[in-house]
Amino acid sequence: MQELTHYINGEHVKGTSGRFADVFNPATGEVQARVPLASKEEMDAAIAIAKAAQPAWEAVNPQRRARVMMKYVTLLNRDMDKLAEALSREHGKTIPDAKGDVQRGLEVVEYCIGAPQMLKGDFTDSAGPGIDMYSMRQALGVSAGITPFNFPAMIPMWMFAPAIVCGNAFILKSSERAPTVPLMLAELLEEAGLPKGIIQVVNGDKEAVDAILYNDTVQSVGFVGSTPIAEYIYGTGCSQGKRVQCFGGAKNHMIIMPDADLDQAADALIGAGYGAAGERCMAISVAVPVGKETADKLIEKLIPRIESLKVGPYTSGNDVDYGPVVTGAAKENILRLVETGVEQGATLVVDGRDFSLQGYEDGFFVGPHLFDNVTPEMDIYTKEIFGPVLTTVRAESYEEAIQLAMDHEYGNGIAIYTRDGDTARNFANRINVGMVGINVPIPVPLAYHTFGGWKKSVFGDLNQHGPDAFKFYTRTKTVTARWPSGIKEGGEFSIPVME
């Protein structure tokens, strides 16, 4: 069995803690590797290396730092197939979806090529008599990121690309359930020209996370994962004086108005509800049709679409709509929640409980489920299922539908399907959710906008990527300057260029 490593100071380094976690191939259920879980001492040693390497990197001017990102884009495209294959093998998602995972990260790397522009400061000429005032954005020092299993390429890149291009060193503690791609990403970044010690991947669990949180060198912590851990990391990190941003769980609704194109809405629900086996923080997990007629027609349109979904291993290529869930424990949790739905009185319209795939009986496949007549107090409504389970809560009016979504504790993403501009506008204006789709089921903002939910889906102020990332990974310093008159020296006759 393969033994994975950490990536420290430009080298693949074996773990020394003696503790490991199993890494599965979710399609077969086999353990394909084991990943070392770092001790506090291993994490502290990596952070010390980052601290020593960071000042020289910060001293490299922004244009040259951006050139590393330019080269990185080329290398990510060169290795796209390899990265996608490794990602699918550990995560289970289809190859086209794995490429999307890499691509959405790569787009943030592209955005980071604009670092010289983003890091430009503000200047006020003659703020007082002979006095100029200017603000500059400076790197924090050492930043750290703790990432989830479900986007092993995209989310690490959303964190480390802006952090590094701003002049920081970065410690990545990626998910122990999908650790290979983050290691590959770090190696590629050094191939692109990043000095050793600026990106390091230290694998681990709570012990490694706590070592980050209680290490005084670490100036900022980014986290993406489930809400209870987000809450813990936010509270602990802030109490240690760090800058922290944490993105948590979700329960994304789609409101379907009576005037919506129901075929379009049904197709959107299928992709957004079951794509990646529902293991997306922007997956739609609650359909809210408005009015009985809309609900009946929608369910009628959903059933054949769901029944014809193709579930299988990523190795089956384009014939598969979604793959297995990440672990046996995740599968058990999903099926347990499905049972609570049945027990609590929801109607299980499409029952995927007995799903089994010939030749892959030990894989972590979960058949698609559709619930109707779900009510707000049921566990399948209040909890994040994170599996291929779509729930339907019927609403009698638009007001009831919007209130339902407003009252849910999560507020990551939401969509409305309607042909009426006035309804759409009212909805976008009032809804207390961070990312809103109007006839768009998964409204993930592009790299140059920012990504983030509201309510229990987020802890902190600034969003991920876009201009917020440059704020999160830098500190502002403002200088007020007065100069005595001096002697003017000889001129420079050739135009200055960047070699």
Q: Do 385 and 284 touch, CB atoms closer than 8 A? A: no
Q: Do 92 and 322 touch, CB atoms closer than 8 A? A: no
Q: Does 384 bind ligand NAD (CB under 6 A)?
A: yes
Q: Which is nearer to ligand NAD, 144 or 290 (CB)?
A: 144
Which string of x and - marks every residue 239-278 that binds ligand NAD (by CB under 6 A)?
--------xxxx----------------------------
Output DSSP code: residue 290.
B
Question: In the complex, what is the shortest distance from the CB of residue 206 to ligand NAD, in angstroms, rounded to a whole number?
Answer: 4
Q: Among residues 111, 386, 459, 472, which is the contact residue for ligand NAD, using CB under 6 A?
A: 386
Q: Do 317 and 307 touch, CB atoms closer than 8 A? A: no
Question: In the complex, what is the shortest distance from the CB of residue 187 to ligand NAD, in angstroms, rounded to a whole number?
Answer: 20
Q: Which is nearer to ligand NAD, 252 or 423 (CB)?
A: 252
Q: Which is nearer to ligand NAD, 348 or 433 (CB)?
A: 433
What CA–CA distance (Å, rounded) separates 93 from 98? 6
Q: Which is nearer to ligand NAD, 113 or 178 (CB)?
A: 178
- Which residues, in sequence order, are bridge partners of residue 143? 170, 220
Q: Which is nearer to ligand NAD, 205 or 351 (CB)?
A: 205
Residue nearest to ligand NAD (CB): 225
Q: Which is nearer to ligand NAD, 176 or 372 (CB)?
A: 176
Q: Does 224 bind ligand NAD (CB under 6 A)?
A: yes
Q: Among residues 22, 44, 205, 231, which is the contact residue for ligand NAD, using CB under 6 A?
A: 205
Question: In the complex, what is the shortest distance from the CB of residue 130 to ligand NAD, in angstroms, rounded to a whole number?
Answer: 49
Question: In the complex, what is the shortest distance from the CB of residue 292 to ligand NAD, in angstroms, rounded to a whole number?
Answer: 32
Question: In the complex, what is the shortest distance from the CB of residue 154 to ligand NAD, in angstroms, rounded to a whole number?
Answer: 9
Q: Which of 383, 388, 381, 341 is nearest to 364 (CA)?
A: 388
Question: In the complex, what is the shortest distance from the CB of residue 317 to ligand NAD, in angstroms, rounded to a whole number?
Answer: 26
Q: Which of 112, 166, 246, 281 is catalytic?
A: 281
Q: Which of 392, 292, 283 is nearest to 341 (CA)?
A: 392
Q: Which of 200, 154, 159, 204 is nearest to 179 (CA)?
A: 204
Exposed, middle or buried: residue 26 (CB in 10 Å: 0-12, 13-18, 19+)? buried
Q: Do 52 and 70 touch, CB atoms closer than 8 A? A: no
**Binding residues among 34-73 for ligand NAD as defined by CB under 6 A:** none
CA of 447: how far to CAs of 276, 412, 466, 468, in Å?
A: 21, 17, 6, 11
Q: Among residues 196, 206, 292, 425, which is the contact residue for ligand NAD, using CB under 6 A?
A: 206
Q: Which is nearer to ligand NAD, 394 or 408 (CB)?
A: 408
Specify the residue for token string 């609650």: 286
- Token pair recorded at residue 38: 């770092």
Q: Among residues 212, 256, 281, 405, which is the contact residue for ligand NAD, using CB under 6 A?
A: 281
Question: In the complex, what is the shortest distance from the CB of residue 434 to ligand NAD, in angstroms, rounded to a whole number?
Answer: 9
Q: Which is nearer to ligand NAD, 54 or 285 (CB)?
A: 285
281 a catalytic residue: yes
Output DSSP code: residue 431.
-
CA of 47: how far to CAs of 4, 205, 241, 334, 337, in Å?
A: 20, 16, 17, 37, 40
Q: Which is nearer to ligand NAD, 207 or 267 (CB)?
A: 207
Q: Among residues 245, 457, 463, 474, which is the contact residue for ligand NAD, using CB under 6 A?
A: 457
Write the DSSP string, 161-230. Answer: HHHHHTT-EEEEE--TTS-HHHHHHHHHHHHTTPPTTSEEE---SHHHHHHHHT-TTEEEEEEES-HHHH
**19 SS3 class:** coil
Q: Among residues 25, 175, 294, 391, which is the contact residue for ligand NAD, using CB under 6 A?
A: 175
Q: Among residues 39, 88, 168, 412, which is the contact residue for ligand NAD, using CB under 6 A?
A: 412
Q: Does 285 bind ligand NAD (CB under 6 A)?
A: no
Window contacting ligand NAD (CB under 6 A); options: 61-69, 205-213, 259-267, 470-478: 205-213
What CA–CA distance (Å, rounded) separates 221 from 246? 8
Q: Among residues 27, 69, 84, 146, which is the contact residue for ligand NAD, using CB under 6 A?
A: 146
Q: Which of 159, 119, 122, 150 is nearest to 462 (CA)?
A: 159
Contacts of 149 (CB under 8 A, 6+ apart): 91, 175, 177, 178, 326
Window contacting ligand NAD (CB under 6 A); options: 137-145, 218-226, 396-404, 442-450: 218-226
Q: Indicate the residue type of 497.
A: V
Catalytic residue set: 281
| Interaction site with ligand NAD (CB under 6 A) | 146-151, 173, 175-176, 205-206, 209, 224-226, 229, 247-250, 281, 384, 386, 412, 453, 457
